[in-house]
Amino acid sequence: MKMKDKYEGCLTGLAVGDSLGMPAELMSRNEIKKVYGRITGMVDARDGLNAGLGKGRYTDDTQMTIALAEAIIQAGYVEQYTVADKFMELDGRLIGGGMGCMQGIGNMKRGVPWDRAGSSSAGNGTAMRTAPVALFYHGDTGRIVRAARVHSIMTHADDRAVEAAVITSLAVDYLLDGRQPAGLIDHLLPFAANGEIKDELVKTGGLVGSGRDEIDALDEFNISGYSVGTVGASLYLFLKHADSYRDTVLAAANMGGDSDTIAAIGGAFSGAYNGKGGIPGEWVKSLQDAERITGLADALYDMSLDPYKPVPDVLDYGLKAIFVGYNPGLDSARKGHFYGSNTNRFWRLLYEGGILPEPLTYEDDWRMTEYGYGLTDIVKSCTREAKEITGDMYETGRERLLKVLNQYRPGIICYNGKGIYQKLMDLGKIDYGKQDTHAVPGITDYVVPSTSGRTGIKWDVRLGYFKELGSLL
């Protein structure tokens, strides 16, 4: 099966599942039987939460998935401010939106920073929309985990909700490769840091292999919109019907509870595994925005093939310093970590300059916040040389950098190289060290010699400025 068919299957499968479950959202099994008998295809919503919506219409699950996919395509990666903007565009427009998502979006609209806006909800609003993360970063577990967290905390601060999105993303990533569904639970368990999520995965695996009646087994899951139960039920139904998209989503649509979300996530799993060809054609034809969704999947597939992706920021509040680079080189972009080239001296200089108490490598970049430091770039896109950076790329990056610096307000902003600071501040000749100018009022700017192996600056000179920086910190 061609991988593009799996990408289309994943997003289309999610939207079709959402549309199939939409008429029965939050109804009980008995209410579903009374109103619909049994849902066997796309039908109008005749009762309940979504009464009046026509067949093939999707809800907040697909709306937020589309928003996330469009943000990734626009920015070239899971860029926090672009994702937040796309989510805020949905304010007042979510169909059947959960309180967690609506509260988080409302907080951002009121000016709360994206990483502090999340509600205390443990709902499934993050897991339902996270599939585009797995599609874009397919095969890169580390970046999948970090990106799933970025979009999750915008609306849900609860660890269970965030981890539900991580587990869902990793399940999609696994299934895209056509690996055996029977091994999926064992694959996911090492990533389950939350005890409730881990217990749910163990329970789900046991129920799949127990031979227990499906309806009876579904009673073991909390399907009220709770993230833990939703992930468990979605995995259970997919694993019970791994070779049949139809059976997976119809079982979800008729099970009661948050049927559209469970059908959406189960549909994403099945679509990633079975491809778009496994989804009944008449359902796809009835789906709202079917061509648009396919187009998003195709774009994410094309982008996933590029091994050189932007490196995720390492940021937090209350930092002593944020180190600013120009843009990631090929090695860093391929590895997904800052200063990943073997010839770059950044990590050695931090240690020998007394800034870090232990030697770290690029693989440890995410640990920088433990010591009070952050990492970012002006331009997030990878290029072979700085001269390939266009004016538009730079201006977009400059605007973003100033957002980052104003949001996190470290004690010192350290620029890795003169050229970075000269262009940012539109200055002529400058010296290394502490600057008299300020990119952000009230924050000290410091410039160190470039740590790149391509520069001819002597080691002692570079180390001297890092030691001076360390004394200021």
Strand partners, 257: 27
Alpha-carbon gap, residue 87 to 91, rounded angstroms: 7
Is the pLDDT score of 389 beyond 90?
no
- Predicted local distance difference test score (pLDDT) of residue 31: 95
Output phi, psi for 306, to 5 deg: -80, 115
- Which residues make Cβ contacts (< 8 Å) with residue 211, sequence separation at least 6? none
Q: Which 8-state DSSP code applies to residue 46?
A: -
- Label residue 189 by pLDDT band (50, 70, 90): very high
- Predicted local distance difference test score (pLDDT) of residue 49: 86
**Owner of token pair 């902003």:** 413
Query: How far is the CA of 85 from the CAs of 114, 189, 202, in angstroms?
Result: 10, 33, 37
Alpha-carbon gap, residue 281 to 267, rounded angstroms: 14
Is the pLDDT score of 385 beyond 90?
no
Query: Other C-beta atoms within 10 Å of 419: how many?
Result: 14
- Predicted local distance difference test score (pLDDT) of residue 297: 98
- Predicted local distance difference test score (pLDDT) of residue 179: 95
Q: How far apart are the first and last CA of the chain?
A: 55
Query: How far is the CA of 188 from the CAs of 205, 265, 336, in angstroms?
Result: 11, 16, 22
- Label residue 133 by pLDDT band (50, 70, 90): very high
Q: What is the mean pLDDT of the chain?
A: 96
- Predicted local distance difference test score (pLDDT) of residue 69: 98
Is the pLDDT score of 455 beyond 90?
no
- Predicted local distance difference test score (pLDDT) of residue 194: 95
Residue type, 374: G
Alpha-carbon gap, residue 465 to 473, rounded angstroms: 12
Alpha-carbon gap, residue 473 to 467, rounded angstroms: 10
Alpha-carbon gap, residue 434 to 438, rounded angstroms: 10
- Classify 426 as helix, strand or coil: coil
For 247-270, how does the pLDDT look when each residue is reduced to its tens digit (9 = 90+)? Answer: 999 999 999 999 999 999 999 999
Q: b/e string for 272-304 if b means 16 or more Cβ within 10 A?
A: bbbbbebbeeebbebbbebeebbebbebbbebb
- Classify 146 as helix, strand or coil: helix
**What average pLDDT does the segment 389-400 reach?**
92
- Label residue 112 by pLDDT band (50, 70, 90): very high
